[in-house]
Chains A and B, each alone.
Chain A
Amino acid sequence: AQRVTQPEKLLSVFKGAPVELKCNYSYSGSPELFWYVQYSRQRLQLLLRHISRESIKGFTADLNKGETSFHLKKPFAQEEDSAMYYCAPSSGGSYIPTFGRGTSLIVHP
């Protein structure tokens, strides 16, 4: 069965500190991996995909196939990064995502 785990429900850091939101998955084949973000009172939005290998709003995510992880990282957190973050692997070749339960990131001033 496809599974995705975001072990932290809540992650609290101070502005300027590094942040890592963890995501572990159990998926057959070669999944495509996504991170989504939802800021307070805003729509859910796609943050980044592992295929694009890009940095969005200072966030990067590295796929570790050996550990089956896709952690989201940012070296210096900003207050505006406070939001709910969802990891979502999707079956390779088909878009059928499985969402994690989400991690609420709070960045204190």
Chain B
Amino acid sequence: KAGVTQTPRYLIKTRGQQVTLSCSPISGHRSVSWYQQTPGQGLQFLFEYFSETQRNKGNFPGRFSGRQFSNSRSEMNVSTLELGDSALYLCASSQRQGTSYEQYFGPGTRLTVT
């Protein structure tokens, strides 16, 4: 199977701008989760999408949003960027069948806000 892919891999934006990141899950996986990783706060869960619906949400402001398409690809958007949004953004796709669970991460998008 092809792995989880994320685009772009690197991004530089200016404060106040907005950004859209994309994640393509493993074929057959319907759940996509997003995470933010920073040196200061560590790994934090942003949200999870399943079958085009946001199923779970972490503790982030409304500037962070996402969506999922019918092919399970997902995008996350950050509006009105702040310096503190500089981070590695990871996505993961997963599949749960009974007690079995598999989850695979993408390589991440490194966002730098200047």
Residues of A within 8 A of B (CB): 43-46, 49, 51-52, 86, 88, 94-102
Interface size on B, residues (CB 8 A): 24
Is the pair A99, B104 in contact by a Cβ cutoff of 8 Å? no
Residues of B within 8 A of A (CB): 3, 31, 33, 42-45, 48, 55-58, 90, 92, 99-108
CA distance A93 to B105 in the complex (A): 21
CA distance A95 to B103 in the complex (A): 12
List of A residues within 8 angstroms of B103 by Cβ: 46
List of A residues within 8 angstroms of B92 by Cβ: 44
Is the pair A95, B44 in contact by a Cβ cutoff of 8 Å? no
CA distance A100 to B107 in the complex (A): 20
List of A residues within 8 angstroms of B105 by Cβ: 43-45
Is the pair B45, A96 in contact by a Cβ cutoff of 8 Å? yes
Q: Which residue of B lies closest to A91 (CB)?
A: B56
Q: Which residue of B lies closest to A49 (CB)?
A: B101
**Shortest distance between the CB of B95 and any CB in chain A (Å):** 12
CA distance A2 to B12 in the complex (A): 33
Is the pair B56, A96 in contact by a Cβ cutoff of 8 Å? yes
Given contact pairs A43-B106, A49-B101, enumerate 16 new A-B contacts (beta carbons under 8 Å): A43-B3, A43-B104, A43-B105, A43-B107, A44-B43, A44-B90, A44-B105, A46-B104, A51-B99, A52-B99, A52-B100, A88-B43, A97-B45, A98-B45, A99-B44, A102-B42
